[in-house]
Amino acid sequence: MTKTNVIACIDGTDVSTAVSDYAAWSSLRLEAPLILLHVLDKSTYPVKSNLSGNIGLGSREALLQELAELDEKRGRLALEQGRIMLEAAQQRARADGVGDPIVHQRHGDLLDSLLAIEQDTRLLVLGKHDDNLAAHVGSRLETLVRSLHRPMLVCPAVYKKPQRIMIAFDGSDTTHKAVDMVAGSPLFRGMPCHVVMIGADNEHNRGQLEWAEHTLKSAGFTVITALRQGDVERSLCDYRREQEIDILVMGAYGHSVIRRFLVGSTTTAVIRDAQIPVLLLR
């Protein structure tokens, strides 16, 4: 099966509505099936708890049984809550124009669930949460980005129909691929595309920007290029605000100043401060 599906991660937080809307928009632009996915975390709602090791309960079997029944009830309620969330997201996607959005509910680990369907995924859409934007290695978002090899759209809590996009470009192989991907995909077709490079104003960097401009113009894009100096995170965010950019496209992994991820957490900082969707490419 080809990589065809847009996958929206619905978790019931205040970001889920925007995730549904951005996923529906992406599905329509890509003409790809939309799957709304809810994963019930097995660490929070285990399938069956073993409470026999609770210190102090000893042989109080009645209490153990009652605790087990309460735990099972929590699990059932969580599954029902997830089902209701998926139904609401499905109705919203249909209202956005998606003909037949599919709903999937899984019990397990989010990463494992996404890895299981990775080969059939064209775009993954998930919400931005403050608790997964920690600067240290090991945060949830970083784990997903390191482990998955599909484009990932990280969304804020409020949906705004994209009109202008911006590529954070540094001349690396990954950002060359990002330019090629934008040029070859219908996702952003017809939108003005800003290509922004943070670095020295020299012949090499200007040549890199000229290549990006030529590649995108050849695909029919209106292209605006900018070469700026200064702090990467601040410069990218300042440009985004000045030009009222709606989606930022950037490489998520590597060693360059824009793509540095494990040391310095540039990607994490940009996502945290951008307040717009960020499309992360590997």
- Give yes or no: residues 187 and 79 share one domain: no
- Give yes or no: residues 146 and 194 share one domain: no
The answer on pLDDT for 201 being more than 60 is: yes
- Give yes or no: residues 145 and 212 share one domain: no
Confidence of residue 106 (pLDDT cuts 50, 70, 90): confident
pTM for this entry: 0.82
What CATH code is carried by the domain that includes residue 95?
3.40.50.620
Please give the share of the chain, as a percent, with pLDDT higher than 70: 80
- Give yes or no: residues 167 and 151 share one domain: no
The answer on pLDDT for 15 being more than 90 is: no
Identify the residue with better confidence: 2 or 247: 247
- Give yes or no: residues 40 and 124 share one domain: yes
What letter represents residue 275's amino acid? Q
Identify the residue with better confidence: 191 or 268: 191
- Give yes or no: residues 130 and 164 share one domain: no
Confidence of residue 38 (pLDDT cuts 50, 70, 90): very high
- Give yes or no: residues 14 and 152 share one domain: yes
What letter represents residue 108's amino acid? G
Identify the pLDDT of residue 219.
96
- Give yes or no: residues 121 and 222 share one domain: no
- Give yes or no: residues 193 and 230 share one domain: yes
Is 134 exposed, middle or buried, given 0-12, 13-18 or 19+ CB atoms closer than 10 A? middle
Identify the pLDDT of residue 268.
65
Q: Are 239 and 209 in contact (CB under 8 A)?
A: no
Identify the pLDDT of residue 264.
40
- Per the structure, the count of domains in the chain is 2
Whole-number Å distance between alpha carbons of 171 and 254: 12
Identify the pLDDT of residue 58.
55
- Determine how β-strand 121-127 pairs with β-strand 152-155: parallel
Domain boundary among 157, 186, 219: 157
Domain boundary among 140, 157, 174: 157
Range of the domain at 242: 160-281
The answer on pLDDT for 48 being more than 60 is: no
The answer on pLDDT for 256 being more than 90 is: no
The answer on pLDDT for 71 being more than 80 is: no
Write the pLDDT tens digit of every residue in 128-171: 865 544 433 335 777 787 788 899 999 988 999 999 999 999 88
Most confident of 71-85, 203-217, 252-266: 203-217
- Give yes or no: residues 98 and 204 share one domain: no
- Give yes or no: residues 8 and 131 share one domain: yes
Domain boundary among 134, 157, 180: 157
Identify the pLDDT of residue 134.
41
The answer on pLDDT for 182 being more than 50 is: yes
- Give yes or no: residues 180 and 144 share one domain: no
Confidence of residue 20 (pLDDT cuts 50, 70, 90): very high
Identify the pLDDT of residue 69.
73
Is 48 exposed, middle or buried, given 0-12, 13-18 or 19+ CB atoms closer than 10 A? exposed
